[in-house]
Structure 1
């Protein structure tokens, strides 16, 4: 069984591996990215990509005295990753070294177990982190494309191709990532059911105890953090690739406008 799992998860993103381990029934083991990509791009998208790929690369190069901004963007990438990672790990409840940017939900005072087991606050918590990631990474990605456009024609074409892919796939990506909290809802239900089944028959369930260290809710908080960190890594891959390409560019050339 372990060998089979390795075959189905090898070379997958960390996010898919985390979801496969947490909810294996939710992931299609026969997922084919190339086939799915062809289904996602419509005729208009294909024309846009064809235009970018066949654009003229005859722009002349001029010499610059100042280096490109690859180093600054590398630092911005590291800072963005660090800030978003810290925001995920500092949940404000089980890890509260400082005030949390987005606080992990806990049961309200006097809440009944039924009310406290509502997943809605945790859904909103996850969506808030997704909005945080989306805004920060979109700004960084736009800066990376601007910097690439100032280098060779090939680098400028890469920036245009990235923009075309982003426009074509943005809605599909947004819809797919929006399903992650719904998958986590299943994990939440599993954790809660296990908690209820482990309660002694004569012990009432007190939601006030759920925020204690070692609780089932802390375990779910760690589940959520693991998925968020894997999603962050996935979201950063395109811009990290652009910045890596920028680092390989000639530091003293740009295309003539």
Structure 2
């Protein structure tokens, strides 16, 4: 069985480290400067909108926004638990899907869409609650809205590459698990296909990646929750 080449550890969040382990080719030894990277993502129109949100007059407090309470906190926890359960649910028809990388990629896409929809709803609702509390927190909600509009297209473009990357990882694991042919093998007595061990590893790897992606998607929500919780 072929062994994967050694890769030095990659700095960064768990999500980045996991994906880096599945990538082909050399990896950078240092993370790019965040300010340089943001300058490539934020065009001048978005930069002006962000500047206005940061430096303009404090926005008025919204009179009819929903109020944050323990039930809202519990709802955020419930939504996250539902997504975790969907990601960690036992894969159905493992043998049937073993030779179908497209099915695994589609499964990954489906879970990503569920995460995007659920976290988007939560984020918008929490911003509405912030806008109800004070002019300062209303400004924070406005800044978060601009940041979401600015960074979401780039974020979704990058996350859309995950299913394809996992598909490549699937192919490498399957190929590495195939028994090496020997000189005495004939067409009738060719080595059997790969065992299920590689597939179990793939399922675990994809689960780990999706859970790490969920953590990334919940970071803005955790920030809004921290601002909403009473001091």
Provide the TM-score with structure 2 as the length reference. Answer: 0.82
Structure-2 residue corresponding to 1:16: 16
Do the aligned partners of 1:20 and 1:26 also contact (CA within 8 Å) in 2?
no
Closer, same or farther: CA 173–58 of 1 in aligned 2, 3 Å: closer
Deviates more, 1:189-198 or 1:22-31: 22-31
Cα distance in 2 between the residues matched to 1:54 and 1:180? 37
Structure-2 residue corresponding to 1:48: 49
Match of 2:136 among 154, 177, 182: 154
- Report the number of matched residues: 217
Structure-2 residue corresponding to 1:241: 223
Cα distance in 2 between the residues matched to 1:61 and 1:89? 39
TM-fit CA distance, 1:143: 0.9
**Partner SS state of residue 107, structure 1:** helix
Give every structure 1 segment of 4 or more consecutive aligned residues whose post-TM-superposition deviation is greater than 3 Å: 21-30, 58-62, 197-207
Cα distance in 2 between the residues matched to 1:171 and 1:123? 21
Structure-1 residue corresponding to 2:102: 120
Closer, same or farther: CA 189–58 of 1 in aligned 2, 3 Å: closer
Where do 5+ consecutive residues of structure 1 fail to align? 94-103, 109-115, 250-257
TM-fit CA distance, 1:154: 1.2
**Partner SS state of residue 90, structure 2:** coil
Do the aligned partners of 1:105 and 1:122 also contact (CA within 8 Å) in 2?
no
> Considering only aligned residues, what root-mean-square deviation do their CA atoms show, in Å?
2.8
TM-fit CA distance, 1:35: 1.1
Closer, same or farther: CA 164–26 of 1 in aligned 2, 3 Å: farther
Do the aligned partners of 2:61 and 2:131 also contact (CA within 8 Å) in 1?
no
Where do 5+ consecutive residues of structure 2 fail to align? 1-5
TM-fit CA distance, 1:73: 2.6
